[in-house]
């Protein structure tokens, strides 16, 4: 069964190119370590909420935008093995590919796909 890692983060609006470069390098590594696909999305229409919302969840600041991304894997076992390899991949080190956003405010999780149309 397909497995998905999802992520939402707030990124400085002026840092779109830097984020895309970071994401491209990461996507290449994820694909080499077993991911089927990597999708990165840049905010276009993400409203503020009154009770909850993407901006509230990541404590978005006025000069930031929301990014929404996901990685699909053949299974959770492949994802777990791939993520372990990613942690030791030199391309993913802070020196070679620093996160262009505050990772402490990122939310992420893993999900089994129950339906796809």
* pLDDT tens profile 94-116: 888 888 999 999 999 999 999 98
pLDDT at 81: 97
- pLDDT (tens digit per residue) in 21-68: 999 999 999 999 999 999 999 999 999 999 999 999 999 999 999 999
| Span 3-93+108-112 CATH architecture | 2-Layer Sandwich (3.30)
Better-predicted residue by pLDDT, 94 or 77: 77
Rounded Cα distance, 41 and 80, in Å:
23
pLDDT, residue 91, reads 84
Q: Where are the domains of the chain?
A: 3-93+108-112
Query: What is the pTM assigned to this prediction?
Result: 0.91
The pLDDT value recorded for residue 98 is 83
Q: In this structure, how many other beta carbons lie within 10 angstroms of the beta carbon of residue 32?
A: 13
Instruction: Look at residue 14 in the predicted model and tell me its pLDDT.
Output: 97
What is the pLDDT, as a whole number, of residue 96?
A: 81
Closest CA to 2 of 53, 74, 61, 70: 74
d(CA 81, CA 94): 21
């Amino acid at each position: 069964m397909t497995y998905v890692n999802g992520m939402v983060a707030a990124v400085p609006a002026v840092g779109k190119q830097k984020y895309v470069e970071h994401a491209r390098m990461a996507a290449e590594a994820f694909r080499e370590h077993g991911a089927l696909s990597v999708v990165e999305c840049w905010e276009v229409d993400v409203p503020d909420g009154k009770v909850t919302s993407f901006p509230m969840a990541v404590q978005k600041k006025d000069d930031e935008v929301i990014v929404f991304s996901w990685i699909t894997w053949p299974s959770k076992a492949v994802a777990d093995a791939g993520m372990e390899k990613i942690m030791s991949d030199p391309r993913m080190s802070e020196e070679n590919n620093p996160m262009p956003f505050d990772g402490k405010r990122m939310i992420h999780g893993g999900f089994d796909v129950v339906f796809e149309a």
